[in-house]
Amino acid sequence: MRAAIQTMQLSKKYGEKTAVKDLSLTVERGEVFGFLGPNGAGKTTSVKMLLNLITPSAGEGFILGEPLTNPQVRQKVGFLPEHFRFHDWLKAEEFLKLHADLYHIPREVTHRRIPELLDRVGLSQHAQKKLRNFSKGMLQRIGLAQALLNEPALVILDEPTSGLDPVGRRMVRDIIAELRQQGTSVFLNSHLLSEVEITCDRVAFIKQGEVVHISSLQTMLEAELRAELRVRDVSAEVLQGLEHWGKNIHLDGERLTLDLRQEEDLAEINRYLVNHAVKVYSLHIKHISLEDLFIQIVGSEGEV
């Protein structure tokens, strides 16, 4: 089976300004992929290229094995746009019916599916309410329901939790988890790192239109299992012995740091150091959050 998303050097230029440069990534089937970057980094432009809303200046891409320009492929794609602006004179149920029609979903399936989805996003009570009277969070929920109408193979969510309260965010997380269980691929555009940390298998960082880092979230965060110790009287010999447990060993005055393979080793290290007459004043694991990583990779300029 072909990858859910595959892009090769996908680029978008507006005149002189480069919005996205040489975007090359592969999202496997069933994978939840996080696309991270500061505001204005080119996340939404990338998503729009995937959906053929924007024509790339260069490069090519495939969704579920088909070229981006093939409209039929979007039969299997669900999309929640960033600003979730919808035809607000429609009632919630009518809105879903309209989009079910655009997906060419048979009427009898639609009749079953709409109440299910309204219930799933917690809007059953509001089926007959016009979208005009919806709050931002409710619009996001109905938008999400819309993106799931066709039981998609790939769901593309552009900032899916930006308008939601904590309950809504939990709901989105749960839905993403369910989608993963069903083998649905999810492409999640976000700057809310905690969301991504909880839900994604792999992440890509984008900065000023360029992907600067792609890796599995697990290896990325585990790779950053760093021990920090305050010690005195460490010989070079003892220092070398630490290589048994970790790498990147640095001693800076009393501050000793090293990257561990597993947290359990910390106790062993403690015993080893004490046995070798090293004075250990403190030792702890410094957990690196995605946020630290984000700042580290993308930089802290915080360009907006």
Task: Return residues touching other proteins (CB under 8 A).
Answer: 48, 51-55, 71-75, 77, 79, 81-83, 85-87, 89, 98-99, 101-104, 143, 146
Quote the least distance from Cβ 4 to other proteins, whole Å.
Answer: 16
53 vs 267, beta carbon nearer other proteins: 53
Quote the least distance from Cβ 300 to other proteins, whole Å.
Answer: 31
Are the C-beta atoms of residues 44 and 189 closer than 8 Å to each other?
yes
Quote the least distance from Cβ 79 to other proteins, whole Å.
Answer: 4
87 vs 276, beta carbon nearer other proteins: 87
53 vs 274, beta carbon nearer other proteins: 53
155 vs 225, beta carbon nearer other proteins: 155
Which residues, including other chains, have CB under 8 Å from residue 125's CB and lie 6 or more apart?
none
In this structure, what token pair is assigned to residue 254?
């009393």
| Backbone φ/ψ region at 269: left (φ over 0), alpha (ψ -120 to 50), beta | alpha
Quote the least distance from Cβ 85 to other proteins, whole Å.
Answer: 4
131 vs 175, beta carbon nearer other proteins: 131
Please provide the distance, in angstroms rounded to a whole number, between the alpha carbons at the two ends of the chain.
39
149 vs 196, beta carbon nearer other proteins: 149
73 vs 121, beta carbon nearer other proteins: 73
Helix (H) or strand (E) holding 9: strand 5-14
Quote the least distance from Cβ 223 to other proteins, whole Å.
Answer: 36
Helix (H) or strand (E) holding 241: helix 236-241
Are the C-beta atoms of residues 204 and 213 closer than 8 Å to each other?
yes
- Positive or negative torsion for Cα 111, 140, 221, 286: negative
Quote the least distance from Cβ 241 to other proteins, whole Å.
Answer: 59
SS3 for 118-155 is HHHCCCHHHCCCEHHHCCHHHHHHHHHHHHHCCCCCEE
Query: Phi and psi of 168, rounded to 5°?
Result: -65, -40
Quote the least distance from Cβ 76 to other proteins, whole Å.
Answer: 8
| Backbone φ/ψ region at 15: left (φ over 0), alpha (ψ -120 to 50), beta | left
* Cα 213 to Cα 202: distance, rounded to the nearest angstrom: 11
